[in-house]
Amino acid sequence: MSISKCINTVIASSLLVLLVGCTQNQGTKSNLVAHNALEQEISIETIWNDYKENFPEATSKWTQVEVVLTGTVKNIDSKELPSQQNKDKATVYYFVTLKDQVNTSCTGVIKMSNDVPNIERVTALKKGDVVTIKTKLYQPERFITGDIPKCSFLFDHGVIKPVEKITN
């Protein structure tokens, strides 16, 4: 094999490796974009309308999807519940009831995450505050099947999103 054919083979092989690497990197980037798309700003009314229209489809659409809800604080409650790791030890959980800003008859009861910065934000809340919370839908069937036949949902793992300060 001549030297020029060897060089062409090496260059072609190198280009092939580079192209494969680029496509794998693009796949990773699109996976990140898809993952970030799982967090959606939404109103509680929109979720309610989806469930009224088609329960199975809405369940697959909203289950385990992080949503960002903005609403008015209607109530803040705390309850001691058994710890998942140690059933003999109780853990205090906070529940925030939000009134939807789009349809004020729609509410969400959100079990808040127990990390310290989040608990500090929750305990600073007052009835009437407008807050944005990232959370996941939990047990929608309880509300849709007639146990609570209104626009009301239970959410889990709520985290208050800090207010972004605008600087000039």
pLDDT digits (tens, 9 = 90+) for 26-63: 433 333 333 345 678 999 999 989 988 998 898 889 88
CA-CA distance, 108 to 157, in Å (whole number)?
Answer: 13
What pLDDT, on the 0 to 100 scale, is given for residue 46?
Answer: 94
Tokens of residue 92, six digits? 């205090």
Helix 55-62 with 44-53: angle, nearest 10 deg: 140
pLDDT band at 90 (very low <50, low <70, confident <90, very high): confident
Strand partners, 99: 72, 107
What pLDDT, on the 0 to 100 scale, is given for residue 5?
Answer: 53
Higher pLDDT, 101 or 166: 101
139 and 154 in contact (C-beta within 8 Å)?
A: yes
pLDDT per position as a tens digit, 65-80: 899 999 999 999 999 8
97 Cα distance to chain centroid: 17
CA-CA distance, 49 to 42, in Å (whole number)?
Answer: 12
Give 105's contacts (C-beta < 8 A, 6+ positions apart): 150, 151
Mean pLDDT of the chain: 76
pLDDT band at 141 (very low <50, low <70, confident <90, very high): low
pTM of this structure: 0.69
Going by the DSSP 8-state scheme, the letter that residue 54 receives in this structure is -
CA-CA distance, 137 to 92, in Å (whole number)?
Answer: 21
Q: Over pLDDT 90: what percentage of the chain? A: 40
What pLDDT, on the 0 to 100 scale, is given for residue 166?
Answer: 53
Q: Which residue is associated with the tokens 């680029």?
A: 22
